[in-house]
Amino acid sequence: MKHIRISGTGSALPARVLTNTELETFVDTSDRWIRERTGICQRHVAADDETTSSLATRAARAAIEAAGLQADDIDLLIIATTTPDMVFPSTACIVQNALGIADCIAFDMQAVCTGFVYGLATAERFMRGGGVRHALVIGAETFTRLLDWTDRGTCVLFGDGAGAVVLSQSDTPGLLSSHLHADGSQAGILCVPGAVRAGAIAPAPFVHMDGQSVFKIAVRVLDDVAREALAHNHLSVDQVDWFIPHQANTRILSSTARKLGIAESRVVVTVDRHGNTSAASIPLALDTAVRDGRIQSGQLLLLAAVGGGMTWGGALVRF
């Protein structure tokens, strides 16, 4: 059986940058308060004419180009998103059409901030089953459209963007393993409880979060799944070149790295510039570090994410 490797990465961010200083003008908050509690300095916000699919399409094109492929080489397209363009059809089908792919498997994946890792794991299983040579996995969000801008506990945290990877069959190991989990008993601590009913959204269309509960669970499960991935592959933390966690906030990132025993210099951090972009955060961080030269061929990457559901997952990747 052939191996599976990341052959290309790409990302896309809206042009509009919303700084903490600008937030101060219409939210009861301050730059200092946001920085001290989250590490976030700015985030990108989608314009009215930007959609989850348009951001995903831009990221996909960059990843396909980096892989040295054409769009029609893609056999499988998975989009991890909490903010689809519409109820149906899937955002993946919209992106498939935008890319000009004549025919491929295409569907959306919903695991909130863990969605990209869920997508990687799902694509891996399709590829190992045969028939899929190249898979495109995208995390894409217009998450700011779910925010109540009067709720300073949530609206300062999130941003919009998309990140993508192409997975390809390979003669050398790449995606070593993936590990997925969920605990639905914790669904209420991080959710958007609204649903379309008779033409309206009820009971609420905005993000609800119990921050303290999320923090406690996040640090615990990120540590657990990272150790699970390393143990499964008989590797140690010292062998990891880069840790790429879900970019929730710097307190969670620092606490998880400290618990794992990974130096913060080996943690890829983009939350300060992007905010929490949910399913897009890991592929955005990955592409950023690939394109600025930090991530090199042959290095070992540890990915770990946690999101509403609650869901969590990890993957170990030889880049």
**What local confidence, expressed as pLDDT, does residue 223 receive?**
98
With a pLDDT cut of 90, the percent of the chain lying above it is 98
**What local confidence, expressed as pLDDT, does residue 130 receive?**
86
Strands 311-318 and 195-197: unpaired
Q: Please say if the pLDDT value at position 136 is more than 80.
A: yes
Catalytic residue among 104, 246, 249, 274: 246
3-172 in CATH: which number?
3.40.47.10
Q: Please say if the pLDDT value at position 314 is more than 80.
A: yes
Beta bridge partners of 314: 179, 304
Span 196-215, pLDDT tens digits: 999 999 999 999 999 999 99
Q: Please say if the pLDDT value at position 1 is more than 70.
A: no
Three-class DSSP labels, the chain: CCEEEEEEEEEECCCCEEEHHHHCCCCCCCHHHHHHHHCCCEEECCCCCCCHHHHHHHHHHHHHHHCCCCHHHCCEEEEECCCCCCCCCCHHHHHHHHHCCCCCEEEEECCHHHHHHHHHHHHHHHHHCCCCCEEEEEEEEEHHHHCCCCCCCCCCCECEEEEEEEEEEECCCCEEEEEEEECHHHHHHEECCCEEECCEEECCCCCEECHHHHHHHHHHHHHHHHHHHHHHCCCCHHHCCEEEECCCCHHHHHHHHHHHCCCHHHECCCHHHHCECHHHHHHHHHHHHHHCCCCCCCCEEEEEEEECCCEEEEEEEEC
Is residue 104 part of the annotated active site? The answer reads no
Domain with CATH 3.40.47.10 in the chain: 3-172, 176-318
Q: Read off the pLDDT band of 140 (50, 70, 90).
A: very high
pTM (predicted TM-score): 0.98
Is residue 191 part of the annotated active site? The answer reads no
User: Do 149 and 22 form a contact (C-beta atoms < 8 A)?
Assistant: no
**What local confidence, expressed as pLDDT, does residue 53 receive?**
99
Tell me the CA end-to-end span of the chain in Å, nearest whole number.
19
Catalytic residue among 104, 113, 179, 274: 113
- Tokens standing for 314? 């990890």
Q: Please say if the pLDDT value at position 295 is more than 90.
A: yes
Question: In 3D, which of 306, 36, 65, 283 has the Cα closest to residue 179?
Answer: 306
Q: Read off the pLDDT band of 2 (50, 70, 90).
A: confident
- Going 292 to 295 to 298 to 303, the CA torsion angle's sign is negative
| CATH T-level assignment (fold) for domain 176-318 | Peroxisomal Thiolase; Chain A, domain 1 (3.40.47)
Is residue 276 part of the annotated active site? The answer reads yes
Does 2 or 145 have the greater pLDDT score?
145
Q: How far apart are CA 146 and CA 272, in angstroms?
A: 20
Mean pLDDT value of segment 46-50: 98
Mean pLDDT value of segment 30-53: 98
Contacts of residue 118, defined as CB under 8 A and 6 or more positions apart, other chains included, come to 80, 109, 111, 180, 311, 313
Q: Read off the pLDDT band of 256 (50, 70, 90).
A: very high
Q: How far apart are CA 266 and CA 263, in angstroms?
A: 6
Q: Read off the pLDDT band of 143 (50, 70, 90).
A: very high
What mean pLDDT, rounded, does the chain reach?
97
